[in-house]
């Protein structure tokens, strides 16, 4: 079978098994199996696959059809134009999170001098690393309760040559961090335990997904801690699910002097920004 034939068959198969982006998934998996760039699949449409290549590819497609995220199968994911290593120990970086990072980079770049940033619940390190990559005046202290996630994040910092400006600390929320910050960023778990989610989401670590009180518990606990940890003029940016937006903005109203919500590309309430 040729590349073009295999892609057609596997994309149809993945679509029948409920993949939202079946053709793209098929291309990413095939490029990975053949050690080619995705673009090369189009340049080599008539190339015939060997038996070993077909077997390897079939295995990947079968796992994808059962709900494993493509990023876990190929071992990486693009976020903010940067390529991040991804393993089942970390949340797959999500395009919705770019709303938070773009705002963080804008805030950092507006500052006259160095900016001290905290990234709480860093996972793969994608927020901390993208901020330091795009804002050369930023230095980030990134925390997580998962040592396995911090190991992945450390490798990602080295991959993007920012390890001297990103410091990883294991601990609950900001407990392991000293000093005050100009900016606190957080994409903490915010889903309710009873939420009905696709297999692709539940394949990710439970402690990267769920929080108590309908999903708001960790964000609310962080918001209560942050005012004492901000430099004068400092801000917090917290990613949220629209389902907890009103609970979180109510709490922010009590803890901070000002607040606003940023929406994602789909128009959903996605990031709380608050300041003292
Ligand atoms: C939703 S994931 C986000 C990961 C990454 N920041 C991103 O945007 O892709 C949340 C992360 O918070 C971590 N986490 C959960 N509870 C935490 C806590 N109490 N303190 C610090 N990190 C926590 C999880 O281990 C997970 O890596």
Quick: pLDDT tens for 97-108.
Answer: 999 999 999 999
Distance 62 CA to ligand 1 centre (A): 29
What would you report as the CA-atom Rg of the chain, rounded to the nearest whole angstrom? Answer: 20
Distance 188 CA to ligand 1 centre (A): 5
Confidence of residue 215 (pLDDT cuts 50, 70, 90): very high
Burial of 24: CB neighbours in 10 Å, binned 0-12, 13-18, 19+: middle
What is the distance between the alpha carbons of residues 142 and 16, in angstroms, rounded to a whole number? 40
Ligand 1 atom 6: residue of nearest CA: 122
Distance 99 CA to ligand 1 centre (A): 17
Q: Find tokens 């294991």 and name the residue.
A: 170
What is the distance between the alpha carbons of residues 220 and 215, in angstroms, rounded to a whole number? 10
User: Which one of 129, 189, 221, 237 would you pick to mutate in the ligand 1 pocket, going by the greatest count of ligand atoms within 8 A of its CB?
Assistant: 189
Q: Find tokens 């963080």 and name the residue.
A: 104
Total length of the chain: 276
Residue 256, helix vs strand vs coil: coil
Distance 175 CA to ligand 1 centre (A): 14
Domain map of the chain by residue range?
A: 3-66, 77-275
Given the candidates 1.10.3210.10, 3.40.50.150, 3.40.50.720, 3.30.420.40, the CATH classification of the domain at 77-275 is 3.40.50.150
What is the pLDDT at residue 36?
Answer: 96
Confidence of residue 19 (pLDDT cuts 50, 70, 90): confident
Is residue 82 within 8 Å of 95, Cβ to Cβ?
no
pLDDT of 87 > 90? The answer is yes
CATH code that applies to domain 3-66: 1.10.8
Distance 205 CA to ligand 1 centre (A): 10
| Residue-by-residue DSSP string for 135-198 | -TTEEEEEEES-HHHHHHHHHHHHHTT-TTTEEEEESSTTTT--S-EEEEEE----B-TT----
Distance 133 CA to ligand 1 centre (A): 20
User: Which one of 80, 92, 103, 123 would you pick to mutate in the ligand 1 pocket, going by the greatest count of ligand atoms within 8 A of its CB?
Assistant: 123
What is the distance between the alpha carbons of residues 256 and 276, in angstroms, rounded to a whole number? 5
Q: What is the rounded average pLDDT of the residues 238-254?
A: 96
Mean of pLDDT over the chain: 97
Question: Within 10 Å of residue 85's Cβ, how many Cβ atoms?
Answer: 17
Is residue 199 within 8 Å of 72, Cβ to Cβ?
no
pLDDT-above-90 percentage for the chain: 97
Give the binding-site residues of ligand 1, using a 6 Å CB cut-off.
Answer: 91, 93, 97, 120-124, 126-127, 143-146, 149, 172-173, 187-189, 207-208, 218
């Amino acid at each position: 079978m040729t590349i073009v034939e295999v892609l057609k068959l596997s994309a149809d198969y993945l679509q029948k098994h409920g993949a939202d982006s079946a053709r793209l998934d098929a291309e990413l998996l095939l490029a990975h199996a053949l050690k080619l760039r995705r673009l090369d699949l189009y340049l080599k449409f008539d190339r015939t696959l060997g038996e070993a290549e077909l077997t390897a590819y079939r295995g990947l497609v079968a796992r994808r059809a059962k709900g494993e995220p493509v990023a876990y199968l190929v071992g990486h994911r693009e976020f903010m134009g940067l390529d991040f290593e991804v393993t089942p120990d970390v949340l797959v970086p999500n395009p919705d999170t770019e709303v938070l990072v773009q705002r963080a980079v804008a805030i950092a770049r507006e500052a006259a001098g160095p900016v001290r940033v905290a990234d709480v619940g860093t996972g793969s390190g994608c927020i901390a690393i993208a901020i330091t990559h795009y804002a050369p005046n930023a230095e980030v202290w990134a925390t997580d309760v998962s040592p396995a996630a911090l190991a992945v994040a450390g490798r990602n910092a080295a991959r993007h040559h920012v390890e001297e400006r990103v410091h990883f600390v294991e601990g609950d929320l900001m407990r392991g961090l000293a000093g005050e910050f100009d900016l606190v960023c957080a994409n903490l778990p915010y889903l309710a335990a009873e939420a009905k989610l696709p297999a692709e989401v539940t394949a990710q670590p439970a402690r990267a997904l769920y929080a108590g009180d309908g999903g708001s518990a960790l964000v609310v606990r962080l918001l209560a801690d942050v005012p004492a940890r901000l430099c004068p003029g400092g801000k917090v940016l917290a990613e949220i699910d629209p389902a907890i937006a009103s609970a979180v903005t109510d709490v922010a109203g009590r803890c901070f002097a000002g607040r606003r919500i940023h929406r994602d590309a789909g128009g959903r309430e996605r990031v709380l920004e608050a300041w003292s």
